[in-house]
Structure 1
C-alpha cells in the first residue's frame, strides 16, 4: 500500500532572528509580494554577507531589505553599505517602536509588523552591472530550489556555496 507523505512546508528556522525580527520579515515579505517581488530570507552573498531579505521581480529588479528590530540592533551592525553591490535598491525594515530618524537617508525605509508593511521612504535605483545581476539571480534561483528540495527531501542540505557571485 502506497501512502502519500505530505511535505512539511513550514520555513526552516535557524534561531538567529528574534521573534520581533521574524515578524518584521513576514510583514515585509508580504509587502514585497504586493509589489510583484518574490523573496528569500537569509541569502548569503559572495562577500560572505547575508541579506535578511533578497527580493527579485519579473523584470529582474533586485531589492535587498536589511531588518533592524531595535536601535541596538541597528547600532550593532554597520555592514549595510556593502549590500549596494548586490541590489538595485536597498531598504531597511523596522517596526513602529524603532525611531525612523536613525536610518540613513540613502536607503529606503519600510515599517512592518507580522501582518504587513508599508514603504515610508523610497530610494532611487542604482542599477547593477549585467554580470552581477546574472550572478545574483542565478544564486537566488539555486538557493530557492535547494530550499524547496529540502522541504520534499529533509535529509538534503540547503546550503549552497556562493562561489563566483
Structure 2
C-alpha cells in the first residue's frame, strides 16, 4: 500500500529533509541542518562538498511556503550553489532558473515504515564561487556548529552545566 503524500507541511518538510540528507551522504557531501549564518538566518541544510564548495539547500513544503518566504535570496551570498528541495507535487515552474532543484519522492513511502524517500537532482544550479575570506568564515562556522552539536550529543550533562554557568557570568 502506498501512503499518500504528507498533508501537514511540517511532516512534508521532515520527509524532504531526511531525503536530502540521505542524498547528500550518497554523494559524499557533509550535510548540516539549520546552519546559523552570520546574518542570523538559518540555512535549512548546508552541505560541504568534496571540492570544499558549499551547497545551501532550501526546503520548501509547498508553493505557499515558497511564495511567503523570500529570505532565501540572502543565502546566495553564503554558498557556491543554491538548491531548492521540494516534493513531487511542487510546481517546479515557480523556482528560479539559476537555482538547482532536488525532488523527494515522499508519496512513494510505505505506510508505517521508517524509510527515507528517494531524492533526485533534476537541475544543477549556477555555481558562484565564494570569495576566499567568506569561504574561511563559512568553513569555521560549519565546523564549530557541527562540533558543538556533537559535543552536546556526547555529554548532555556538561552542556547543561556550561549553559547555566554562562547565564551566571
Bucket of the pairwise TM-score, normalised by the shorter protein: 0.7 to 0.9
Aligned to 1:11: none
Tell me by how many angstroms 1:124 deviates.
Answer: 2.2
CA distance in 1, matches of 2:47, 2:99: 15
- Is 1:51 aligned to 2:43, yes or no? yes
Computing the radius of gyration from Cα coordinates, the structure with the larger value is 2
Q: Deviations over 1:14-33 (max 9, x none)?
A: xxx81110110110111112
Consecutive unaligned residues of structure 2, counting only runs of 5 or more, are 1-8, 107-115, 164-169
Q: 2:54 aligns with which of 49, 62, 79?
A: 62
Q: 1:93 aligns with which of 81, 85, 89?
A: 85
Tell me by how many angstroms 1:59 deviates.
Answer: 2.1
What is the correspondence of 1:66-145 to structure 2 with a 5 Å cutoff? 66-112=58-104, 113=106, 114-145=116-147
Aligned to 1:35: 27
Structure with the higher helix share, 1 or 2: 2
| RMSD of Structure 2 on Structure 1 (CA) | 1.6
TM-score, length-normalised on structure 2? 0.80
Q: Deviations over 1:101-127 (max 9, x none)?
A: 111111111101342310111112100
What is the correspondence of 1:138-157 to structure 2 with a 5 Å cutoff? 138-155=140-157, 156=159
TM-score, length-normalised on structure 1? 0.81
Aligned to 1:12: none
CA distance in 2, matches of 1:65, 1:54: 6
Tell me by how many angstroms 1:35 deviates.
Answer: 1.8
Secondary structure, aligned partner of 2:139: helix
